[in-house]
Amino acid sequence: MASPKKPSREDLEKLKLQAEIDKILAEKQLAERQINEVWYSGRSLRVIASTAITAVTIAALFYTYLVRPISTYEDRLASIKATVAEAGLDSLAIARRQLAATVDSLAAQNALSQARLDSLRIVETGLKTDNTRQAARIAVITARLDSIEIEREDELDSAIKALASERAKSQTNQKRVQELAAQVSALQRDIKQAAAEKREIKRIAMSPDLSEEAVAKMLKENSLFCRGNGLAWANLDGEGVKNRYRQRADGRVVFDATTGLLWQRSGSERIGSHDDAKWYVEGLNRYPFADYSGWRLPTLQEAMSLVESSPNQTDLYIDGIFSNQQKWIWTADMLDSQKAWHVNFVGGLCIAHSGGSYVRAVIAGLKPPPPNW
């Protein structure tokens, strides 16, 4: 709750004066009643005199506490008004001066802007002139480029027609070249096959049958490992060949860098007789297996170079790089007219018989294949 407003000094003086006036009025009323009752008595005269004195006193108080303060306040108010008016005139004068300065500044800026505008108009006129000249130059260059483009298109059409004609001739020639190349390749394969067959026939005709004694001697001289309890040619002391195999990326053939022999990684799919083995090799050369020709049956010495002194993880005495399907293979060497030597990788030995076996053909005398073979 807000506290009551404290009365000012003027309010207190007014309240005091009002109380005196009320008192004088009450005494006046009392005096009038007395005059009406006994106006002529001495007491009445005293009352009248007292009333007159009181009235004079009230008038003095009224002037002292009301009229004079009001006059003083009016003087102060007039002085304040004069001061305010003077301050207002000063502020107005200052504002007028500032306004005049602002007007002068705006006029100067306007003049500067006008000058800039005139300069821009001059530049604009120059640019329009340059644009007109540039447009004329562009039109000339465009016309020239259009003429060149038309000429180039005509030249291109002529070149395309000439190219099509030459291509037609080239296709005809190329087809003929391809036919001739195919004939040459076929002739080369036939020549190589005939030479291989000739060498094989000559080798078979000139080489006598390979006896058991000759086999035993060959195994010992070349330190080839051969198991077989009871076999006269067994050579358990043989260390075998330290083969260095490389398999081609397609997995069809394996090259031995130690012996220089190229082998089929697998071989024939079925067991066959020795004559069947010869027919199988002939087919390899008729349609060059793995893009090689000159395939033949290996000699016993070549086939025994594959035998390892210990079995691999499939229990075959041959390196695991080869297929494990061909567990025994034919050789070109004969024991007699009825039996041919074959190598058994299951037992790690060689033996002659007239039954059936697989084929793993070989090629000799090749250069080592390239690194990206």
Scan for tokens 């030249």, then name that residue: 155
Last residue of a domain, one of 172, 189, 218: 172
State pTM to two decimals.
0.48
* Residue 218 shares a structural domain with residue 310: yes
On the question of pLDDT at 41 being above 50, the answer is: no
On the question of pLDDT at 295 being above 80, the answer is: yes
Contact 251, 265 (CB under 8 A): yes
195 lies in some domain: no
Stretch 241-256: mean pLDDT: 96
For all residues of the chain together, what is the average pLDDT?
Answer: 80
* Residue 151 shares a structural domain with residue 217: no
198 lies in some domain: no
Last residue of a domain, one of 172, 195, 220: 172
What was the pLDDT predicted at 86?
74
Name which residue leads in pLDDT, 112 or 5: 112
How far is CA 130 from its chain centroid?
A: 48
Contact 262, 255 (CB under 8 A): yes
User: What is the domain range of residue 165?
Assistant: 8-172
Alpha helices in the chain (DSSP H): 9-37, 42-62, 68-206, 212-221, 274-286, 300-304
Confidence bin at 205 (pLDDT 50/70/90)? very low
Per residue in 74-133, pLDDT (tens digit) is 676 677 777 767 776 777 778 778 877 777 777 777 777 777 777 667 766 765 665 566
303 lies in some domain: yes
Stretch 247-271: mean pLDDT: 96
Name which residue leads in pLDDT, 90 or 186: 90
What was the pLDDT predicted at 252?
97
192 lies in some domain: no
184 lies in some domain: no
For 261, the 3-state DSSP assignment is strand
What was the pLDDT predicted at 109?
78
181 lies in some domain: no
On the question of pLDDT at 206 being above 50, the answer is: no
186 lies in some domain: no
Total structural domains within the chain: 2
* Residue 229 shares a structural domain with residue 289: yes
- CA angle centred on 300, ends 299 and 306, rounded to 5°: 100
Confidence bin at 358 (pLDDT 50/70/90)? very high
For 311, the 3-state DSSP assignment is coil
Name which residue leads in pLDDT, 166 or 344: 344
On the question of pLDDT at 199 being above 60, the answer is: no
Name which residue leads in pLDDT, 198 or 9: 9
Last residue of a domain, one of 172, 192, 218: 172
* Residue 41 shares a structural domain with residue 109: yes
CA–CA distances in Å: residue 64 to residues 11, 20, 103, 267: 15, 13, 57, 150
Per residue in 301-332, pLDDT (tens digit) is 999 999 999 999 999 999 999 999 999 999 99
302 lies in some domain: yes
